[in-house]
Structure 1
Amino acid sequence: MMKALVVVAHGSRREASNEEVRELVARLDESAGGSFAVVCAAFLELAEPSIPDAIVDVIDQGAGHVTVLPYFLSAGRHVATDIPAEIDKALVRRPGVEIHLAGYAGSSKAMLPLLLNLAKS
């Protein structure tokens, strides 16, 4: 079964910030070692593609399993409520596909060493 990864960021009015996310996702795709056939960025608001559009796009490319990875630091309203609601919108458009909502970036145990490394640099 073809797997896809959709990395979700908030989105910004500042296009350079959105492009920074897209570039990060491209590097993630390169380092994923083929774990996902398709890796793309999506945005909750203020930028394209939207979460449902990105999910539908990877499904239309053949993905039967989609992992949605929130690129957020805390479990605020966007992570707890908004992103799941956007996933539900995609499921209405493409029912029957397995969609997994991964943990948000800030919940990773790798965050503590990362922050310490940044502080020391």
Structure 2
Amino acid sequence: MKKSLLLVAHGSRRAQSNDEVRALTERVRMSSSSEFTDIECAFLELSPPTIPDGLEQLIARGADHITVLPYFLAAGRHVAEDIPEEVGVTRGAHPDVVIEIAPYLGTSEAMPQLLLNMLADSTTAAL
């Protein structure tokens, strides 16, 4: 089984914001153990690749199990409706590929400690 990860962000008209997501994806790729053989990012809107395009890229490279990770802090319309609809398009076209949607970033149990660590790091850097 070839498991892949697609990190999905909103997308921005500001190119630097999209580049930050691409850089984060690269850091995740470099930090990942052997759990995922391929890691890419995609955007819901305003920047390529789209979610279907990102999924298609992974499938073309042999993915047969893809986890979509919504890089969102809250369960707004994009998380609740738009991402599942976009994923559904590719699921329908590739019924032989397992495509699952992971819980969005804001649900992570690690989030409170991450925020506190960030504050501690920024306070230390300010001294």
TM-score normalised by structure 1 residue count = 0.96
* 2:47 equivalent in structure 1: 47
Stretches of 4+ aligned residues off by more than 3 angstroms: none
* 1:4 equivalent in structure 2: 4
- The number of aligned residues is 121
CA distance in 1, matches of 2:99, 2:69: 11
* 2:81 equivalent in structure 1: 81
2:70 is the alignment partner of 1:70: yes
2:100 is the alignment partner of 1:93: no
CA distance in 2, matches of 1:66, 1:39: 9
Identity %: 52
User: Unaligned stretches of 5+ in structure 2?
Assistant: 123-127
Deviation string, structure 1 residues 17-42 (Cα, Å, up to 9, x no partner): 00000000010011111211110000
User: Unaligned stretches of 5+ in structure 1?
Assistant: none
CA RMSD for the aligned pairs?
0.9
Higher CA-based Rg: 2
* 2:21 equivalent in structure 1: 21
What letter is aligned with 1:112? P
CA distance in 2, matches of 1:116, 1:27: 21
CA distance in 1, matches of 2:105, 2:67: 14
Of 4-13 and 31-40, the range deviating more from structure 2: 31-40
TM-score normalised by structure 2 residue count = 0.91
Deviation string, structure 1 residues 75-100 (Cα, Å, up to 9, x no partner): 11100110000001112332221011
Report deviation, 1:118.
Answer: 2.3
